[in-house]
Amino acid sequence: MKTTISVIKADVGSVSGHGVAHPALIDKCDEILAKALEESILEDYYIARCGDDIDLIMTHKNGEENEEVHKTAFDAFMQATEEARKLKLYGAGQDILSDTFSGNIKGMGPGVAEMEFKERPSDPVIVYCCDKTEPGAFNLPLYRIFADPFNTAGLVIDPSLHDGFKFEIFDVMEHRKVTMSCPEEAYDLLALLGSTGRYVIKRVYKKNGEIAASVSTERLNLMAGKYVGKDDPVAICRAQSGFPAAGEVIEPFAFPHLVGGWMRGSHNGPLMPTSEDEANPIRFDGPPRIIGLGFQVSDCKLIGPVDLFDDPAFDNTRKQAADIAEYMRRHGPFEPHRLPSEEMEYTSLPGVLEKLESRFSKME
């Protein structure tokens, strides 16, 4: 029987703004997931936190989009929301767009990344969790992991990687998708992936169809029709033995590339890799954060995690991210710190423009 990993995340409340999920909310999620473990819905779980997001990392044998597993996550977030309201936390339940579960948590606000696979003799899996950014934040690092030989030496020297990988790309604006192969279509793929607000990597496969990576691609603002919070994506990557080595899966995050999000989801900023303890986006609600948790999957159980960015080798990356954040902040409300106008449609800016509309007049 195959193993399924489901990572489902949501922001259901934070202490003093948008920075830190309260421990009481995590405890409430733990109660619900522990019950699901007793009822054999889940085989194992780990609850992570990145900023104000709670990330439920669950293993089971039920396949992707399983109703019981998704209902477990939904119940956990709903009960955590009630706790957040009792504590009068900020943004209580902000990622929950409906209080009625309808068989699948997709489209209800929380982000979902899942993959089902037959376990190898040794199966390292890395889970990434972000705060204050959008799904397109994974475009650059996933391209580097699975298509760039300057990052992943195995693409050149490891025969098991030499054929390359296939990328499933979602067009989140037009609700369509395309699958492209690398290295054959690398230039065409890059033409799409550079538009991070529209074209996002959903899954990566080996050429034989075996799953390599999965990303949550839910765009919260598109579902809600207005800005209610940033998407804060999660991703799952398999490593070693036919996949890029763990070090190659981690290496792209040594470069703090610019991503959309940060304050009110309206600004570009560097993606800063931190330990789970330091994933507290405080300065201007940022800069955007990412944590990496390394597991071994053994008979559907999670061994670990290793807090992958809790490593002094990333100190220089964090310093560079802090310097970039300082530089970008000096732009104030001007682009390129503020997102371009087409990306601001679902932020709080339209309310300002609506107020000014009657004061505009035609030029001669």
Alpha carbon distances (Å) from 5 to 203, 309, 357? 14, 21, 49
Q: What are the C-alpha distances in Å from 110 to residues 47, 84, 100, 169, 336? A: 15, 16, 13, 20, 29
Task: Output the CA–CA distances (angstroms, integers) from residue 194 to 130, 169, 179, 225, in the order listed.
Answer: 19, 12, 16, 24
Is-catalytic flag, 230?
yes
- Yes or no: say if 222 and 172 are a contact pair by the CB < 8 Å rule: yes
Q: Give the number of other Cβ atoms within 10 Å of residue 325's Cβ.
A: 21
Q: Write down the catalytic residue from 143, 199, 227, 346.
A: 227
**How many Cα neighbours within 13 Å face the side chain of 182?**
24
11 counts as catalytic? yes
* Active site annotation includes 177: no
Helix (H, G, I), strand (E, B) or coil at 356: helix
Residue from 11, 231, 232, 285 carrying the catalytic annotation = 11
Alpha-carbon separation of residue 73 from 47, 99, 158 (angstroms): 11, 13, 39
313 within 8 A of 299, measured Cβ to Cβ:
no
Task: Kindly name the residue from 9, 123, 230, 232 that is annotated as catalytic.
Answer: 230
Burial group, residue 183, by CB count within 10 angstroms (0-12, 13-18, 19+): middle
Query: Which residues are part of the catalytic machinery?
Result: 11, 227, 230
